[in-house]
Structure 1
């Protein structure tokens, strides 16, 4: 199977360089140079989207917010920004990961492989876990409290699945990152902290009990 990748960046040289490299390693690559073109390219049904944040007009954050409820594929931001708040804003818009410019094409490829592999793992898992009215449907990647669905992003669900499948086991932030994204990435604990904060916020609206416990100085566990 050849995966389809959509690359969105207002710099044509970057688009062309990424396209040429990914074509060589076996992907079908489509490009767009602005937010409007990106929206139009969604008809190709990409398996993964590489999305630049800083584009004129409709920037990457706006594109991500608009498509996330309709597109259930990994979205990786390409960004020259390095402030923690910018990364958090990207996650809140619905992105799964980010890579900071300038980057090596080999690293970009490694992240793409990790995310696509993660997608395939998710498709193959079957079963349901219940805690009273709290239900996780792993095969459909959905979570319910009673009959009400709690909507999680792809990465949020991956974290819930990792912790809930290993109830009581403590995972530090670096290990969670490595297991979710498929490779080691020291220094990105803020990403995990923000995802967990958002998961808890969504849970708290429908569920009274504590589900994800912070083990101070260590990490998190499912209780």
Structure 2
């Protein structure tokens, strides 16, 4: 009988790959974001505790990981915030080294950027698109979840194709906003089709402030 192929186990840190390998031009934009929006719109990088259990130091063969821990501290201390996060999330060894320095890893906060448009912070917009939720498939690579969209005002991934959700959302908007049902449906359809990047609730909230 033919041998069954063993499935490759995914590394617990695989979710950080999209952080560790950022495009060079995006790194430059994130540095600009840090200069303009830090510390008010940045926050500490929260690391799941499951990633901090049983670090597999012995598996790594990179010369960088053979350096004394003190030298790793010095390297991390000389990096800018974004580079420090990228290096820290490259493997568990560097993650533990970064945490051992006592200095928090800082990243731009989507929640604290609410109200800042993509035009004024392209770095966060591109980073959020890079972190777009994916749908896992059994026999194919994961693909981008098309049932959600990123709102350019509140920086949240909002449902796009959930009919039950939109039925409730339309009713809520009609009660709160005080516009015609036809207008709410029009704006909702534009959002669901991808013609506008502002979630209807944020759209009407922005209009009320003008």
> TM-score when scaled to structure 2?
0.27
Q: Which has the higher helix share?
A: 2
Q: Which has the higher strand share?
A: 1
**Greater length-normalized contact order (CA 8 Å, ≥ 6 residues apart):** 2
